[in-house]
Amino acid sequence: MTTDLASDPTQPYKQAIDWTSIKLTPLEESDIDLLYIWQNAPDLRDLTMGFRFPIQKETVKDWIKHQREKNGKSRVVFAIRQEEGLIGTVQLNNIDHYQRKALLGIYIAESKKRNSGVGFISSALIIDYAFKGLDIRKIGLEVLAANYSAIALFEKLGFSKEGTKANDYFLDGQYLDVCIYGLQQTNWSTHVPSTANRLVGVVHN
C-alpha cells in the first residue's frame, strides 16, 4: 500500500493515507447539494477568497454547466472523491495554452479531512495531469499569508514564493497580505506512485 506521509516532522499528517483511495472525477449534478452548502460556508469561502454573497442552488447548477462549456479551454475542474464520497474540489484556472500556464485552486471541505494528506495527493494528481497530460509549463497560485496550512501544503509540493501583495484582501475587518507562489514543470519532483489514480495514461516503450 502506498501512503502519503509528511516528510516534514513539524507538519505531520494526522494519519497515513492510501493514494489509491483518492480519485479526481468530473463534477455531477448529484454533487449540487454538497457544493451548495460548501459555497455558502464562510470558513471555506473566505479562506479560498471565494464569492462573498449568497449562492442559490440554481446558481450552482449553472456553475456546473459553465464548467462543461469552459472545460479544457480556460478551466478544468475535478471533484475530489475518497472512497467515492465527495470531499472537495481541485481545479486549473486561467489556462493559457499559448503561454502554457495555469493557476491552481483547491479546497477540502470537511475539516476532519484536512491535514490528512488528501490535499497533497489531490494537488499532486492535478499537477501531474497539468505537466504530463497538458504540457503546462508553469502553475501559479495565490494564497492568504495567514493561511499557514495551505502554504505548508504548497511548499511541500514544491511551490516557491514569488512575491507578496500587501494588504490585498479584506477579511474579518482587516486587510491581509496575499502570497504569490509558482511551480515550474522543470522543478516538479513529487513522485506520483503507479498505484495512484493518475489522469495521465502510462506509455510503455
Is 60 exceeded by the pLDDT of residue 92?
yes
Task: Compute the C-alpha angle 196/116/36, nearest 5°.
Answer: 90
Question: At what angle are helices 148-156 and 118-133 packed, to 10 degrees?
Answer: 50
- Could you report the per-residue pLDDT of 3-17, keeping only the tens digit for each? 333 333 334 444 566
Q: Kindly report the pTM of this predicted structure.
A: 0.88
- Could you report the per-residue pLDDT of 158-203, keeping only the tens digit for each? 999 999 999 999 999 999 999 999 999 999 999 999 999 999 987 6
Ordered domains of the chain (ranges, CATH): 15-139 (3.40.630.30)
Would you state the pLDDT for residue 103? 98
Would you state the pLDDT for residue 43? 83
- Could you report the per-residue pLDDT of 108-127, keeping only the tens digit for each? 987 777 778 899 999 999 99
Alpha-carbon gap, residue 178 to 114, rounded angstroms: 21
| Phi, psi (degrees; rounded to nearest 5) at 203 | -95, 125
